[in-house]
Structure 1
Amino acid sequence: MTFDFKNIVSGAGLAAILGLGALGTSSCQKEFIELNDPTRIPTADSYTDSLSIFNGVTAAYSSLQDLYGRAGGPRGIFIFGEIPSDNSYTVTSGERLNEFNDFSLFSDNPNIQSYWLSTYRCIARCNLILSRAGGVKLTDATRNRYYGEVRFIRALAYFNAVRIWGDVPLVTQELPSIQDAYPFGRRPVAEVYKQIEDDLDFAEKNLPVAQTGTNLGRATKGAATTLLGKVLLTQKKYQAAADKLQPLATGSTYALQATYANVFATNNEMNSEIIFAARYTKGTLGLGSAFTTWFMPAYTTAQSTSLLGASFTGQQFNTVDPDLIAAFTASGTTDVRAATSYVLPAGAATTLGYYTKKYIDTPTSATDAENDWIVLRHADLLLMYAEAVNEATGPNSLALTAVNQVIRRSRGLPVATANATVDLPASTTAETLRTRLELERRLELNFEGHRWFDLVRTNRAITVMNAFFTRTGSSVRIDQNDLLFPIPVQEIQTNPILTQNPGYN
């Protein structure tokens, strides 16, 4: 049977997403993935030369736009990482995003189904390369680099999946037919994490330290190391996470940008702070991002023009919650991150909602902006390293130096210069550092898809969110069942050996 990458196979069912029929059209992203014809991806049966393998790796990278947000496709990781948290809320109900906001999710929610399909489409693309590249004439170094790239992407897809759903089907080989997909039930979280660690260990050993020129944006050794550190931290393997992250936290491979706003500037993409990003480019190829308008409230023509340089309609998918603004206010008026984290245009009522400035651009159309989605960056790494050290052994000088760099920049100070006024002192206790890290991660990484997963990882989600609901006068309360999202009912209907997460029908 021949499967054509040019045709996306749609439809529900585990069989569809685990088979090669799930592999769809790939397209180039930025200049780092240039194809002679980006609309033509070879069929599985034509993986016989180096160019077709390169194009297949490109297809795997293209899948990241589905995982992090694609116009006309899945809304992306923010529906899991931000909307359920105290950082943001959604105004729209037509797409059933409100179910994430108030923990009223049903297993037939189309956003859940769409993300599941996209996850396994991405994994299938990676598995195809791992299956076929061994029979193609390539140098060992090139083959292993391609393997490293797709194993990094596969690990990232599974890491998101296991945090969203817990136990998930674990597929690591090409499936030649639909029938071959049916035996795959959910595998224990520990087994999935073992595969993720194996993939990242291989990627770390075989990816280059840096990608430059037309390869800029492809996965690197540092990206694999950082993601592996986050995977270990999430599993509470604190000492292993600290050991993994320390060389990058104390080294010079990556560096904080001098100013917070520069991290997100569209004319400064893949800067010294960016470790890995899902890449987008506006223009005429349909490769732009939609976050600029997706996250904007329903401002007037004049108000949206004042922000974007042109008038666009805000979709209100991911609006800044007043509770995040209150957290910035409580942290002190000198926190320069606030100016990039939210804005209310002149004349707009606060009831319309605040807008995150991290994704501001002037789109060529409503869903065609330049903004990348930053997956991993150095500030995240520094805070993860400090957390890992703190939980493993308590604070030490290296951990405090890491978090103090982030704090200094948040006050507009040089990151490498000690400042007794703002720095956490050597006497900082483990509990004090733990509390401060929770706050710093919220303020530093808001609207980047981390908040909900951070709260779950630190066993703080139920406490923090129920306090938030009480504080805001909401009757919503969450419990242990709300820490995972429902398995799409369409998948269970197609493959009855799949089971549902507790608390969902």
Structure 2
Amino acid sequence: MTFNKSFAGAAFATLLGLATLGTTSCSKDFIDLADPTRLPSAEGYTDSLSIVTGVTAAYSSLQDIYGNGSNRGLFVFSELPSDNTFALTSGELLNEFNDFTLSSINPRLQSHWQVTYRAIARCNVILNRAGAVKLTDATRNRFYGEVRFIRALAYFNAVQIWGDVPLVTSEIASIADAYQFGRVPKIQVYAQIEEDLAFAEANLPVTYTGANLGRITKGAAQGLLGKVQLTQKKYGAAAVSLKKVIDANTYTLQANYANIFLTTNEMNSEILAAARYTKGGLGVGSYFSTWFMPVLPAAVALTVNGNVGTGQQYNSVDPDLVAAFTASGASDVRAAASFGASTVANLTQYYTKKYSDVPTSAFDAENDWIILRYADVLLMYAEAVNEQSGPDALALDAVNRVIRRSRNLPVATAAPTVDLPASISQPDLRTRLELERRLELNLEGHRWFDLVRTDRAIPVMNAFFMRTGSASRLEARKLVFPVPIQEIQTNPILKQNEGYL
């Protein structure tokens, strides 16, 4: 079986939030049973084809995590709490994320917890069973590397959302087993994440082509490892990991910023990893175009980048982000590629244009969700170097490449009018990197996690609330989100985060 975008799920069961896997055949169309009484089949995953099926099912978990019909996606946690965007849709309780009034009964918490541990369980099944299947060592280790990356990514998102979480690295075989997993200190989870990514780096190829395009590569593992290390303030290790990606010359910045997000240019030279979707009535299209595009009267047609369509506009780009782009100057081409404005009944709302597409039908568009791209790597590398001993020439070159591209200038040629000066101080570069990351990566699922990582969430968000006249205030205990109440009620050894009911 070759890898392509038209994958769905496999036969799964959700067991107390920890999903287990039990299917035996290789097929393009899998079935999600979501049956809480179903345990793994001892007969499953006994040959190479079924292992391939399981690995593909693990990839399909990325659709669950980054957004589909069962879960609203990572943007709920990574963008809505930030100063980039705010919720519009009623009935979804998304507003609780942007005004920090979350309670543990919010359904978005439960759905994301569930898909996270379902993804982890799918990976654990492969890691548990592939050792007994006849495969070459290289093939087996490649499969292991792919699912260990996916498991690491799921855990990385989880610790950023909840802090301490259950660490499950083996297959759940019984209901009794599931009750044994309480929350462990996040330092232990990070250690497992780093171990998984080191294995992936050592066993994955540099590139894939053809039907395998989109599989996890060595560079993706190195880039994510660098981000994990940076989040833990392991600046030296992060710089080493990220420099490997840069030195490999496998990835390059797209010359045109807008081209990064075109559905006709997926998995382009800038993208290290993405959650992949495909439209066409296959059940694996992306929801983002419908979720993020404006709601318009039936008689009104909206044209975005040559595409015509309407949407539900779950959220609006915050005017504060629009103002940040305005302050960046009219020459910053990222603004036009990032957001548009829709005015209905004299009310103007901004919307992200990064997920523009004409769906085959509602919730069936082509847009992938980019997990990690080269501009992110360059900016993280500059941050890792700067936090050690201040800027050096390589760190400045990395960030200057991103700045040049934002002005439509050649990224590999010095541009004195926009380049940062060699004399820039450590604090000034820190401030500039915060801004560049906000503008460059807006609405791609990074802003809130960036603010928390750099210890800037409280001052930035409280200043934002003051500017906008909001009564909301951010305090330290709200830097993590509540554990869903259903999980605590089901498994009493799970404890709630401080300050949440």
Q: Bin the TM-score by the shorter chain.
A: over 0.9
Match of 2:163 in 1: 166
- 5+ residue gaps, structure 1: 28-34
Q: Is residue 2:290 matched to residue 1:293?
A: yes
**Conserved? CA contact 1:26–1:59, under 8 Å:** no
Match of 1:78 in 2: 75
User: Aligned partners of 1:67, 1:195: CA distance in 2, in Å?
Assistant: 20
Deviation, structure 1 residue 311: 6.4
Amino acid at match of 2:160: R
**Conserved? CA contact 1:301–1:311, under 8 Å:** no
**Conserved? CA contact 1:308–1:362, under 8 Å:** no
Q: 1:248 aligns with which of 230, 245, 260?
A: 245
User: Aligned partners of 2:410, 2:444: CA distance in 1, in Å?
Assistant: 24
Sort the Cα spacing of 1:384 and 1:293 in 2 relative to 1 into closer, same or farther, 3 A. same
Residue correspondence of structure 1 range 348-367 to structure 2 within 5 A:
348=344, 351-367=347-363
Match of 2:59 in 1: 61
Amino acid at match of 1:45: E
Deviation, structure 1 residue 303: 4.7
User: Aligned partners of 1:256, 1:311: CA distance in 2, in Å?
Assistant: 28
Q: Is residue 2:336 matched to residue 1:343?
A: no
- Deviation string 1:141-193 (CA, Å, 9 cap, x unpaired) is 00000000000000000000000000000000011111101011000010000
Q: Provide the TM-score with structure 1 as the length reference.
A: 0.93
Residue correspondence of structure 1 range 84-103 to structure 2 within 5 A:
84-103=81-100
**Conserved? CA contact 1:469–1:477, under 8 Å:** yes
Residue correspondence of structure 1 range 1-400 to structure 2 within 5 A:
7-9=11-13, 15-20=15-20, 23=21, 36-39=27-30, 45-70=43-68, 72-301=69-298, 303-307=300-304, 312-345=309-342, 348=344, 351-400=347-396
| Larger CA deviation: 244-253 vs 148-157 | 244-253
**Conserved? CA contact 2:24–2:44, under 8 Å:** no
Deviation, structure 1 residue 316: 2.1
Q: Is residue 2:401 matched to residue 1:422?
A: no
**Conserved? CA contact 1:17–1:124, under 8 Å:** no
**Conserved? CA contact 1:165–1:487, under 8 Å:** yes
* TM-align CA RMSD: 1.9
Q: Provide the TM-score with structure 2 as the length reference.
A: 0.94
Sort the Cα spacing of 1:245 and 1:182 in 2 relative to 1 into closer, same or farther, 3 A. same
Amino acid at match of 1:55: T
User: Aligned partners of 1:90, 1:271: CA distance in 2, in Å?
Assistant: 31
Amino acid at match of 1:488: P
User: Aligned partners of 1:62, 1:26: CA distance in 2, in Å?
Assistant: 17
- 5+ residue gaps, structure 2: 1-8, 33-39
Sort the Cα spacing of 1:82 and 1:19 in 2 relative to 1 into closer, same or farther, 3 A. closer
Q: Secondary structure, in 3 states, of the residue corresponding to 2:411?
A: coil
**Conserved? CA contact 2:16–2:487, under 8 Å:** no
Sort the Cα spacing of 1:49 and 1:271 in 2 relative to 1 into closer, same or farther, 3 A. same
User: Aligned partners of 1:62, 1:471: CA distance in 2, in Å?
Assistant: 41
**Conserved? CA contact 1:26–1:38, under 8 Å:** no
Deviation, structure 1 residue 317: 1.4
**Conserved? CA contact 2:77–2:161, under 8 Å:** yes
* Bigger strand share: 2
User: Aligned partners of 1:153, 1:486: CA distance in 2, in Å?
Assistant: 23
Deviation, structure 1 residue 211: 1.2
Match of 1:466 in 2: 462
**Conserved? CA contact 1:258–1:414, under 8 Å:** yes
Residue correspondence of structure 1 range 438-457 to structure 2 within 5 A:
438-457=434-453
User: Aligned partners of 1:445, 1:437: CA distance in 2, in Å?
Assistant: 12
Sort the Cα spacing of 1:304 and 1:73 in 2 relative to 1 into closer, same or farther, 3 A. farther
Question: How many equivalent pairs are there?
Answer: 486
Q: Secondary structure, in 3 states, of the residue corresponding to 1:89?
A: strand
**Conserved? CA contact 1:19–1:176, under 8 Å:** no
- Deviation string 1:369-425 (CA, Å, 9 cap, x unpaired) is 000000000000000000000001210000000000000000111101101100001
The sequence identity of aligned pairs, in percent, is: 67
Sort the Cα spacing of 1:422 and 1:223 in 2 relative to 1 into closer, same or farther, 3 A. same
**Conserved? CA contact 2:81–2:97, under 8 Å:** yes
Q: Secondary structure, in 3 states, of the residue corresponding to 1:60?
A: helix
Sort the Cα spacing of 1:259 and 1:312 in 2 relative to 1 into closer, same or farther, 3 A. closer
User: Aligned partners of 1:420, 1:206: CA distance in 2, in Å?
Assistant: 41
User: Aligned partners of 1:212, 1:218: CA distance in 2, in Å?
Assistant: 9
Sort the Cα spacing of 1:24 and 1:128 in 2 relative to 1 into closer, same or farther, 3 A. closer
| Larger CA deviation: 250-259 vs 417-426 | 250-259
Amino acid at match of 2:56: T
User: Aligned partners of 1:53, 1:168: CA distance in 2, in Å?
Assistant: 28
Amino acid at match of 1:267: T
User: Aligned partners of 2:346, 2:365: CA distance in 1, in Å?
Assistant: 26
Deviation, structure 1 residue 101: 1.4
